[in-house]
Amino acid sequence: MRENLLGPKQGQAVAVETTYSPHVLLRPLPLELVDLADGFWEPRRRINHEVTLPSQYRHLEDTGRLDNFRRASGKIGGEYQGIYFNDSDVYKWLEALAWTLAEGADPELERMVDAAIAEVEDAQRADGYLNTYFTFESAAERWTDFDLHEMYCAGHLFQAAVAHFRATGSERLLDVATRFADHICDTFGPEEGKRHAVDGHEEVEMALVELFRVTGERKYLEGARYFVDARGYGMLGRPYGQHEPSYSQDHEPLRDQSEVVGHAVRALYLYSGAADVFAETGEPALARALERLWRNLTTRRMYVSGGLGSRYEGEAFGRDFELPNERAYTETCAAIASVMWNWRMLALGGEASYADLIEHTLYNAVLPGLSLDGQHYFYQNPLADDGSHRRQPWFGCACCPPNVARFLASLPGYFYGASEGAVWVHLYAEGAATVGLDGNRTVRLRQRTRYPWDGRVEVDVEAEGEFALMLRVPAWCEEGVEIDVNGESVDAGISPGSYANIRRTWRSGDTINLHLPMPVRRVECHPYVAENTGRVALMRGPLLYCVEQADNHDVELRDLVLNDKEPTVRFEPDLLGGVAILQAEARSAPPAAGWEDRLYRTVHPRERDTQTYSTRVTLVPYYTWANREPGAMRVWLRNG
Ligand SMILES: [Zn+2]
């Protein structure tokens, strides 16, 4: 064990380690101290472990992604296979396996991890460089084209190594990572004699901060700060690359930016890395820029699902209010990146709005990216479709599948937190957590709930002494929130979109009852999003709903107009893995006679009449769509 390894050792698998970060309020929980034993997440995480990870291993072999490492180490010949950043898929998959191993031993997974790490180790160059696309310099020369993702791949290697070390205590992959990080930090930087460059695809920034947190090696933090600082001066993009500098957020220094632009995943990884740098340095200008960007994102450029990225062209954010439904890009990776960024922002000051968006994005933008069988994926997540957009078993550009896998594997780490004298509950699900408090106390919490189907949460406390329990009251829960402790109502300054602060002297056996009413809500959109004018989306609790043809065979979804009557809610245990469906009264209002062969006409008041008939529609949670026979789907429905 090397001398300078800081922070939690093996058995302390935290997804983002902010415990020792000076400018952070919240400390994370190791994911092995959180037990999700619920009917919603536990089955998904089991499928991730038992189905998704082994099937992704087969794809990595079948598509030559692992062979690229064998080729780089001289074990096999042949050409490089696939896209130039395919190494990153192997690293993300390794990260997913590492987090999964934190839950407990699994000899089959360990064998896969060790075999893959051996291939990665063997492919590393003597000077620490590691990228299988650039191994033979006749094909491409390393560090000459920064649009080719060398540092992006490096970042995913670092994150996999950090996860593997935290989950298992093994330094094997960490040794590979630090050798490469040394090479990068010795090659690039502001100092004289070093090269001046940033990567086209951000990722290495947050990875270097985490590597600093594991090793205590300050030059990794300095490297991360340099890569955040150096972006924004037009080193990337035309005339050097295919895109404008804004595609890689290189158009303006981050501290001056106030609009989220360019490739969505790149942008969100940059913001995550910058939040990590802030956590260590506390520079106010950085935090102010991130808050400005977050406001622009959430008030102008985000889908109702929490999905991000409005344009296929450049996989990019659109302009303000540019949010097309059928042509939504909303890459699954962007949703994951949004959770990663919001998690870092939440840690800084415990602001509930970040936790609200984590929950919302998790259910409605990350989850739709994965099929219920755990083997099919969406890259784009439209909010309306004619039935032709289907999940695929894999992609040539396969960033999303292993990203979902690594995220689900680390999910328990996002449920709780701690600060001085306080335990925080960010997310709700049946299960238990063990929280270390103030270095000398242990608090055990057990949640009993059917969340997200029911908003009643019972929390059993096993602890002695005074501390605050911070329970998130979601912003969607606009009325009727109730909290009692041992049957006595508490006034904890409850307001939606904040944490209820219950400070008292706790005794083991104390029980909190939290009631978050879940009426069906009709959500409307800012009128400047023309496509959604006169329409509503239905939500219940944290879940966004949609209509899908599979439940509504005899109706053209585009003709549906919801009535004012309150939809009914019914839990269907055998449908789509068990879901609460909504049933709403509606009418079908097809275009009036005369529209058959024209697209436009002059308005004459009497021609507005249309034949309508009453119908009833069934809505299912949006994350479940496209898991049955192909058919149309819509989130936004006419109303009134
Ligand atoms: Zn992706």
pTM: 0.96
- Report CA(331)–ligand 1 centroid distance (Å): 6
- Report CA(364)–ligand 1 centroid distance (Å): 16
- Report CA(333)–ligand 1 centroid distance (Å): 4
Q: What is the pLDDT of residues 557-591, one digit of tens each?
A: 999 999 999 999 999 999 999 999 999 999 999 99
- Report CA(186)–ligand 1 centroid distance (Å): 30
Mean pLDDT for the chain?
A: 94
- Report CA(578)–ligand 1 centroid distance (Å): 27
Q: Residue 4 above 70 pLDDT?
A: no
Q: What is the predicted pLDDT for the residue at 545?
A: 98
Q: At what angle do helices 53-62 and 107-123 cross, to 10 degrees?
A: 30
Report, as an integer, the average pLDDT of 514-529: 97
Identify the band that residue 606 occupies on the pLDDT scale cut at 50, 70 and 90: low
- Report CA(202)–ligand 1 centroid distance (Å): 13
For residue 126, what are the CA distances in angstroms to 129, 142, 200, 502, 636?
7, 14, 25, 56, 56
For residue 131, what are the CA distances in angstroms to 70, 91, 183, 398?
12, 11, 12, 17
- Report CA(367)–ligand 1 centroid distance (Å): 13
- Report CA(611)–ligand 1 centroid distance (Å): 44
User: CA 25 from chain center: how many Å?
Assistant: 21
Is the bond into 452 cis (omega within 30 degrees of 0)?
yes
- Report CA(335)–ligand 1 centroid distance (Å): 9
- Report CA(616)–ligand 1 centroid distance (Å): 37
- Report CA(272)–ligand 1 centroid distance (Å): 16
Report, as an integer, the average pLDDT of 381-393: 97
Q: What is the predicted pLDDT for the residue at 594?
A: 87
Q: Which of 400, 409, 339, 404 is nearest to 163 (CA)?
A: 409
For residue 551, what are the CA distances in angstroms to 88, 626, 632?
39, 12, 10
Report, as an integer, the average pLDDT of 227-242: 82
Q: Residue 5 above 60 pLDDT?
A: no
Q: Residue 374 above 60 pLDDT?
A: yes
Q: What is the predicted pLDDT for the residue at 242?
A: 74
Question: Which tops the pLDDT comparison, 270 or 242?
Answer: 270
Q: What is the pLDDT of residues 279-315, one digit of tens each?
A: 999 999 999 999 999 999 999 999 999 999 999 999 9
Q: Which residues of 108-124 are buried (b: 16+ CB within 10 A; e: fewer)?
A: ebeebbeebbebbbebb
Q: Tell me how crowded residue 234 is: count the other CB atoms within 10 A of its CB.
A: 14
Q: What percent of the chain has pLDDT over 90?
A: 90
- Report CA(175)–ligand 1 centroid distance (Å): 28
Residue 572 tokens, joined: 């269907």
Is the distance from CB of 268 to CB of 317 less than 8 angstroms?
no
What residue type is assigned to position 629 of the chain?
E
Q: Residue 138 above 70 pLDDT?
A: no
Bin 590: left if φ > 0, else alpha if -120 < ψ < 50, else beta.
Answer: beta
Q: What is the predicted pLDDT for the residue at 206?
A: 98
Which residues are the active-site residues? 315, 399
Q: What are phi and psi of 302, to 5 degrees?
A: -120, 140
Q: DSSP states of 343-381 as a string?
A: HHHHHHH--HHHHHHHHHHIIIIIGGGB-TTSS-B-SS-
- Report CA(9)–ligand 1 centroid distance (Å): 31
Instruction: Determine the Cα–Cα distance for residues 93 and 419; give it in Å rounded to an integer.
Output: 32
- Report CA(558)–ligand 1 centroid distance (Å): 30
The enclosing H or E element of 473 equals: strand 465-473
Is the bond into 22 cis (omega within 30 degrees of 0)?
no
Instruction: Determine the Cα–Cα distance for residues 317 and 418; give it in Å rounded to an integer.
Output: 34
- Report CA(429)–ligand 1 centroid distance (Å): 27
Q: Residue 622 above 80 pLDDT?
A: yes
CA dihedral sign, ordered 237, 238, 241, 242: positive
User: CA 330 from chain center: how many Å?
Assistant: 12
3-state helix/strand/coil string of 49-114: HHHHHHHHHHHHHHCCHHHHHHHHCCCCCCCCCCCCCCHHHHHHHHHHHHHHHCCCCCHHHHHHHH
Q: What is the pLDDT of residues 141-169, one digit of tens each?
A: 899 989 999 999 999 999 999 999 999 99
DSSP state of 566: P
Q: Residue 239 above 80 pLDDT?
A: no
Identify the band that residue 602 occupies on the pLDDT scale cut at 50, 70 and 90: confident
- Report CA(379)–ligand 1 centroid distance (Å): 6
- Report CA(466)–ligand 1 centroid distance (Å): 45
Identify the band that residue 612 occupies on the pLDDT scale cut at 50, 70 and 90: confident
Angle 222-117-32 from CA coordinates, rounded to 5°: 75
Q: What is the predicted pLDDT for the residue at 366?
A: 98
Q: What is the predicted pLDDT for the residue at 431?
A: 97
CA dihedral sign, ordered 25, 28, 34, 39: positive
- Report CA(377)–ligand 1 centroid distance (Å): 10
Report, as an integer, the average pLDDT of 26-48: 96
Bin 21: left if φ > 0, else alpha if -120 < ψ < 50, else beta.
Answer: beta
Identify the band that residue 451 occupies on the pLDDT scale cut at 50, 70 and 90: very high
Is the distance from CB of 212 to CB of 218 less than 8 angstroms?
yes
- Report CA(550)–ligand 1 centroid distance (Å): 27
For residue 155, what are the CA distances in angstroms to 139, 270, 592?
22, 12, 57
Q: Which of 167, 162, 6 is nearest to 92 (CA)?
A: 162
- Report CA(92)–ligand 1 centroid distance (Å): 11
Identify the band that residue 10 occupies on the pLDDT scale cut at 50, 70 and 90: very low
